[in-house]
Chain A
Amino acid sequence: MNRGLPCVLSAMLVLAACQREERDTRPQSALGSGDQPAAVTALEPGGQRPASSNNKAGVFEANAFHLSEGKRLFNWFNCSGCHANGGGGMGPALMDQKWLYGSSIESIHATIRDGRPNGMPSFRDKIPDDQIWELAAFVRALSGNAPKSAAPSRDDDMMPHPSENRLPDAATLGKSP
């Protein structure tokens, strides 16, 4: 009893010291409702980059659970049909460093929600808003813009080597994301 108590106490201390990643396993079911405008250009008269911030961005970005959900949805909503596993096809590549409509998670969210004029369909009212955020976070991860500890690996059953976003010469060119 005397010996057990310190053990339990220290275990509680150790566990309490771990900050657990928050997992919102029941996302809001509202359809693509986030109507907050997001700039799709880095150009704004006045000498400053346009500010884009959405309080949801921080919740979803770099969150392992949301990223893995985003990866699942990326196939379920046929994103992979056009963008393949990041290399592109009917749609542009997502794993490179070229962004037609902005690289921030807010811009990507707006791209999925509202569509873009040269072929990106609008998924507003097709995908719940939280799931669009999950997709946007995963899209950023495809180009190495997510911590390795959180980003899901690409499916490797067709591949002879680890997924590209885990290779040192990936889009980040060795930079730590």
Chain B
Amino acid sequence: MRKGRQVAAKTRVSAKGGNRPIAARLGWTLLAGFALMTAAVAQSLSGPAINPPAAAAPPDDGQWAMPAKNYASTRYSELAEITEDNVKNLQVAFTFSTGVNKGQEAAPLVVGNTMYIVTPFPNILYALDLTKPGAPMKWKFEPNPEPAAQGVACCDVVNRGAAFFDGRIYFNTLDGHAIAVDAATGKPVWNTHIGNINIGETITMAPLVVKGKVLVGNSGGEMGVRGWIKALDAGDGHVVWTAYNTGPDAEVLIGPDFKPHYDMDKGKDLGVTSWPPDAWKIGGGNVWGWISYDPDLNLIFHGTGNPGPWNPDLRPGDNKWTAGIFARDPDTGAAKWFYQWTPHDLHDYDGINEQVLLDMTWQGKPRKVLVRPERNGYVYLLDRTTGEVLSAVPFGPVNSSKGVDLKTGRLIVNPDKKTGTGKVVRDICPTASGLKDWQPSAFSPKTGLLYIPHNNMCMDEEGVEVNYIAGTPYVGMNVRMIPGPGGNRGAFTAWDVAAAKPAWSLKENFPVWSGAVATAGNVVFYGTMEGWFKAVSARTGELLWQFKTSSGIIGQPITYRGPDGHQYVAVLSGVGGWAGAIVSGDLDPRDATAALGFVNVMKDLKDVTTPGGTLYVFRLP
């Protein structure tokens, strides 16, 4: 590893053109303090380099064609024009108003000389011409989704982005349409209606295109919506396969190929028998987060959302296959393995976060792994060929569970924090929004660190009775969130994947609800809910540059090579999402239970930011 680090350092110096003597650089490095030393020590112990599988992370072409950058979901760019040394000179290249003042969670895409942005409801798709000064609009496409869909979207009317494949842009609308648009002209190619808002079904996720199939899942875990993932033909939009995440094996696409690693996931029709009669029909397990794809194994990996309702007394059992992760064959949808992060979820710990695919040496053996900073508070390292848990280590304060039993794979639940009807349980950490929610992390092979934007909050919960009325919420829980230990509600943590411990962590006042992007220039970008867009050192976490945008940032930053050959960084600013609903939905902070309890911990957000929707693009002068 020492060798690896020297090579990396060399590359870095040459990348910045050697405009600073190495001696000065060394001195600076020595001054960088304890955090760096920890990182260095951890790295020297950790063996050979960790890299994403080449087939899932091809060499960087300077574009950004899917929100996660590549199938391995590294959100890492090999562009190195912007470095630790010159990032302080970054300045605005151009801005663009999306015209929608709701939570902007999407990642912009850049393909060729065009940037594509999809807005929150009403899900307008814009194409910007990067070859012209100020990047004027090339075209826009308005899908005109049903306005009523806004009433069944659990946590603001967000959209997490589009995907480019073979000359087309694919994206989803809140009212349950998957749409293909010609990337050159902005004309729709096909439009498939796959979600029904009258049962509370919406779509907020970014699709992933794999082998000519558009993978899409539904949202609605707070509305008693049965979760599914569908593969649509990229050519004409017809549904090739549908896999449900609750119910009989035949509908979950569990067949002879299904070989889960742990006994708790073995058995016939567990998606029915681990529920009270018929509860699986309204049991959640939605797919609204991230999908990764390993071309070598021919497997996609996707999480499943929380079981419904939140009140666990109403659904005794393990509630398969919610709050877990599936590996499926992208051609048929057939399940290969499954692992349940949180069996019989007590606290809305959706299992939908991003999974970063990496090849590394674990305890002396080369392993194909999947790293998952999970909502329940653990960074999981899974063998992605089998679903075996190699390690599960908390990355922040967790008291709702006491660890993961690596023999059985089962989360060890803390009985003191069990919720139920008519019972108020206080100080449960993490909250329903998790130690980390959907906000995707980035992995840099140069540092071996996973950069995790996350939360630091706890909550009180009270289970209440709830009736199922299709198209209305099915939650059954009063929640009241509070700041976590230390008082900082968010953090940005660099996680040493090999050592399974944090290298450094930055405190943020509000939850870090934005994504992260890491670059070969050893700069990592993320945004805060106050509106700061920050660049920090990938090695030490030192703040190198920041810029105050017009509204809070919850979007996914990206970086790309513009038509002029220079490196650009782009992010959408516009507060909202579950965390920012108090601002984007103008909620009343006097009700602690508003926005499923999130408002209580965000009471002061209205004092520091206002709704917005603006694209910011930065470059060096």
Contact = CB atoms under 8 A, between A and B. Distances in A.
A140 to B, nearest CB: 15
Residue of A78, A82, A86, A118 with most chain B CB atoms under a 10 A cut-off:
A78
Given A82-B151, A117-B147, A158 B424 contact: yes
Nearest to A96: B588
Interface string B3-42: 0000000000000000000000000000000000000000
Contacts, number: 116
A128 B589 CA distance: 32
Interface stretch (A17-25, A28-36, A50-58, A87-95): A87-95
A157 interface: yes
Contact of A81 (B460, B472, B585, B589): B472
A93 B588 contact: yes
Nearest to B309: A81
Interface string A110-128: 0000010111110000100
B151 A92 contact: no
B151 A118 contact: yes
Interface in B565-609: 581, 585-596, 599
A61 B152 CA distance: 29
B153 A90 contact: yes
A37 B593 CA distance: 34
A101 B586 CA distance: 16
Report which residue of B222, B474, B478, B596 has the largest number of chain A beta carbons within 10 angstroms of its beta carbon: B478
A76 B472 CA distance: 11
B432 interface: no
Interface in B104-147: 147
A96 to B, nearest CB: 5
Interface residues of B, number: 39
Interface size class of A (residues with CB under 8 A): 20 to 34
A157 B149 CA distance: 33
B469 A92 contact: no
A69 interface: no
B150 interface: yes
Interface of A: 75-78, 81-82, 84-93, 95-96, 98, 115, 117-121, 126, 155, 157-159, 164, 170
15 contacts: A75-B465, A78-B473, A81-B222, A81-B475, A82-B473, A84-B593, A87-B587, A87-B591, A91-B151, A93-B594, A121-B472, A126-B469, A157-B424, A164-B591, A170-B590
Given A81-B222, A81-B473, A164-B590, 4 more contacts: A82-B473, A87-B590, A87-B592, A119-B147
